[in-house]
Structure 1
């Protein structure tokens, strides 16, 4: 139980230190009437898929890069990129290609400098530990990038909740949930 309490304490510290303006700009982006695309590598990619699913439940048109049914990204589409380091080659390539296609590209990362790269039209820094344990990152008992991935999931889920209109009640979202199980 001590481990659970420590992780919860870490999550509280990380999640409550997100810049309000960056968070609010992400919430505003989620309110857009646009197609949303998501990408990330490894566990960050799994979090991206979970958030994409939740956004789809809210009634948005959502795709995940790498799936066979994902169409070409176009002007005015939105690519949400999850990357702790914001240095992953494929993730940067996807971001640059989406930007060239005229899409908005929003980065969720621990890397504050990366948010200002020209291919990103916006971003949100999550001050969490990564697998690299750079100086200035918070301490964690968790391995690798767990702290970033968990915080990203919590923060992005909260942003979706904050972006919902009253028509997106739980009952309406249940109607969009898979019924083939």
Structure 2
């Protein structure tokens, strides 16, 4: 049980250090009446899918890059990119392609420099440890990029809650939940 306590303490420390302005810009982006596309590799990709699903439940049109039913991204669409390192080749290639198509590209990463790339429209830095254990990253008992992926999931879930139209109830979201189970 002490491991659970340590992980929870790490999550609180990391999540509470997210820049408020970056978080608010993400919340505002989620309020947009536009199509959303999500991408990420490995565990970050799983987190991207989980957040895409929840955003769909909130009433948005949402796609996951790489799925067979995902349409072409276009001008005014929004691409949300999860990459702990901010250096994942496929995530950067997808980001650049989306930018060329005229989409807004928003990255969630630990890497401040990645947010400055010319094809990024904005981003949010999660001050978490990655698999690389770079100088300046927080200590963690967790392996690889667990700390980033967990913190990104928590922060993005909170942002969806903050983006919901006032009065939107759990019942309304549940109506969008899969009923083929």
Task: Report TM bin, short chain.
Answer: over 0.9
Runs of 5+ unmatched residues, structure 2: none
Within 2, Cα distance between the matches of 1:83 and 1:143? 16
Q: In structure 2, what is the equivalent of residue 17 of structure 1?
A: 17
Taking structure 1 as the reference length, the TM-score comes to 0.99
Q: Does 1:69 align with 2:69?
A: yes
CA distance in 2 between counterparts of 1:178 and 1:93 reads: 32
Q: Give RMSD over aligned pairs.
A: 0.5
Q: Structure 1, residues 73-103: CA drift from partner, whole Å, max 9, x if none?
A: 0000000000001111111000000000000
| Alignment of structure 1 residues 1-181 onto 2, 5 Å | 1-181=1-181
Give 3-state SS (helix, strand or coil) of 2:92's partner.
helix
Normalising by the residue count of structure 2, what TM-score does the alignment of the two structures yield?
0.99
How many aligned residue pairs are there?
A: 181
1:111-161 deviation per Cα after TM superposition (whole angstroms, max 9, x unaligned): 011101011000000000000000100000000000000000000000000
User: 1:46 aligns to what SS in structure 2?
Assistant: helix
Give 5+ residue unaligned stretches, structure 1: none
**Which structure 1 residue ranges, 4+ long, deviate > 2 Å from structure 2?**
none
Cα drift, residue 169 of structure 1: 1.0
Give the CA deviation at 1:167.
4.6
